[in-house]
Amino acid sequence: MATRSPLAPDTFPDLPEIAGLRLASAAAGVRYQGRTDVMLALLDPGTTVAGVFTRSATRSSNVRDCEAKIGGDSAGGAAIIVNSGNSNAFTGKAGDGSVTRICAAVAEAAGVTEARVFTSSTGVIGERLPDERITAVVGDLVANAVPGALEDAAGAIMTTDTFPKGSARVVEVDGQEVRIAGIAKGSGMIAPDMATMLVYIFTDAKIARPLLQEMLSELSDRTFNCITVDGDTSTSDTLLLAATGQSVEITERGGAFEAALGEVMLDLAHQVVRDGEGATKFVEVAVTGAATDADARKVASAIANSPLVKTAVAGEDPNWGRIVMAVGKSDAEADRDRLTIRFGDIEVAREGWVSPDYTEDAGAGYMKQQELVIGVDLGLGDGAATMWTCDLTHAYIQINADYRS
């Protein structure tokens, strides 16, 4: 495994147990040796599940199967099984068969219907998934499933990740405690197009599925859809949110629960960027003053995905000209003479040129920080968007020119 990202949190957070959720992990030897690579989440009857998935035209059999099942009823129990090492994407009809066999095995062992078993696979594309190695451990997984155990689960789903990712919030709703805990994996092939990477979030709140889906979809547009590592979109991106219904019922949008859920999602999204392949800098790109929010997003995306901006950040070069370039290519309405660019609190450029008080030394000093904010105000309207990305370094090339060997 690669060295832990310099941007990683110091420790894995304490995640609360979620009533109605049990977890187990196992080393099935799908591809990796000497580590866990399968995790199973068992959810008690009454759990509602919402999901957001990659829109890739070549998405995996697992994603297609989840999509078909996600609207199903929530009477019985449910299960989520995830393997790392092999994505089961672009494996044709054989891949569909793998999903069917895994779901059947989990349904039988866990006593749930196949329609309530959700699967994800992550790892190399285009190689047959040895599903028999997964089904062989399903019995043990069900037998060993316990409350808590989210950290182990976060470890089992890692691929090129250098640290397991978790986040939680506990909020009070109607005088009662509601818990939210989630895990994620992802560090490359990350782009802001629908649910990015694999994310599983659990809560003991009771929420009807339509409301749960509405919250999840809207919040993912402001969290997971606002991060990018390399602009590449996975064939397997999956975000599942399961509400076990064992605590208080949530019936409306906009309350403390939704705010806390949004925080968990943003925290996990940021952790994915912090584990961006080869990343040494965490960069927030904050765009304001655009003609529309959509334009602001175009500008933020153009900056956050620009190899020239990202290599400049890697080199600690305050090369704001490349930000001008990215604004220009974004296809958003822009006026050179109304543009303001900031590094953190340092005004770098305004009115079409470098700011009179800006010094290269100030810019260079700022770029040495590990956490950077690139601010762009287009001076045209109220449109705003924020995206998060990392720098583009030699290590990214190293990891990706050599991933399979």
Per CB under 8 A, 330 contacts a copy of itself? yes
Tokens 């956490």, located at residue: 371
Per CB under 8 A, 49 contacts a copy of itself? no
Residue from 126, 170, 176, 359 touching a copy of itself (CB under 8 A): that is 126
Per CB under 8 A, 294 contacts a copy of itself? no
Q: Mark residues 236-275: x for contact with a copy of itself by CB under 8 A, - for none.
A: ----------------------------------------
Interacting positions 88-117 with a copy of itself (CB under 8 A): 89-95
Backbone dihedral angles phi then psi of residue 349, each to the nearest 5 degrees: -145, 145
Report, in Å, the least distance between residue 175 CB and a copy of itself. 46
Backbone dihedral angles phi then psi of residue 122, each to the nearest 5 degrees: -140, 140
Q: What is d(CA 286, CA 270) in angstroms, rounded to the nearest whole number?
A: 15
Query: Which of 18/346 has CB closer to a copy of itself?
Result: 346
User: What is the SS3 assignment for 174?
Assistant: coil
Query: Which of 29/328 has CB closer to a copy of itself?
Result: 328
Tokens 């709140």, located at residue: 205
Residue from 9, 333, 338, 344 touching a copy of itself (CB under 8 A): that is 333
Query: Which of 48/98 has CB closer to a copy of itself?
Result: 98
Query: Which of 73/360 has CB closer to a copy of itself?
Result: 360
Q: Is-contact 122 84, C-beta < 8 A?
A: yes
Q: What is d(CA 227, CA 254) in angstroms, rounded to the nearest whole number?
A: 23
User: What is the SS3 assignment for 108?
Assistant: helix
Of 171-179, 195-203, 262-270, 391-399, the segment contacting a copy of itself by CB under 8 A is 391-399
Q: In what order do the strands lie in the sheet with 383-390?
A: 227-228, 383-390, 282-290, 371-377, 340-343, 346-350, 353-354
Helix axis angle, 320-329 relative to 307-314, nearest 10°?
A: 160
Q: Is-contact 21 42, C-beta < 8 A?
A: yes
For a copy of itself, how many residues bind (rule: CB under 8 A)?
72
Per CB under 8 A, 314 contacts a copy of itself? yes
Q: What is d(CA 193, CA 291) in angstroms, rounded to the nearest whole number?
A: 22
Residue from 261, 332, 376, 385 touching a copy of itself (CB under 8 A): that is 332
Q: Which residues are within 8 A (CB) of 27 and not within 5 positions of it... i.e. 6 or more apart?
A: 34, 35, 36, 37, 38
Interacting positions 170-209 with a copy of itself (CB under 8 A): 188-189, 191, 193
Of 40-48, 240-248, 268-276, 331-339, the segment contacting a copy of itself by CB under 8 A is 331-339
196 is catalytic: yes
Q: Give the pair of three-digit tokens for residue 392.
A: 């583009």
Of 111-119, 208-216, 284-292, 349-357, the segment contacting a copy of itself by CB under 8 A is 349-357
Q: What is d(CA 39, CA 202) in angstroms, rounded to the nearest whole number?
A: 14
Residue from 4, 218, 307, 369 touching a copy of itself (CB under 8 A): that is 307
Query: Which of 118/358 has CB closer to a copy of itself?
Result: 358
Report, in Å, the least distance between residue 207 CB and a copy of itself. 31
User: Which member of 135, 160, 162, 196 is catalytic?
Assistant: 196
- Amino acid at position 350, single letter: R
Q: What is d(CA 185, CA 16) in angstroms, rounded to the nearest whole number?
A: 19
Of 56-64, 199-207, 238-246, 259-267, the segment contacting a copy of itself by CB under 8 A is 56-64
Of 145-153, 161-169, 233-241, 247-255, the segment contacting a copy of itself by CB under 8 A is 233-241
If one counts every other C-beta atom within 10 angstroms of the C-beta of residue 109, the result is 18
What residues are labeled active site?
196
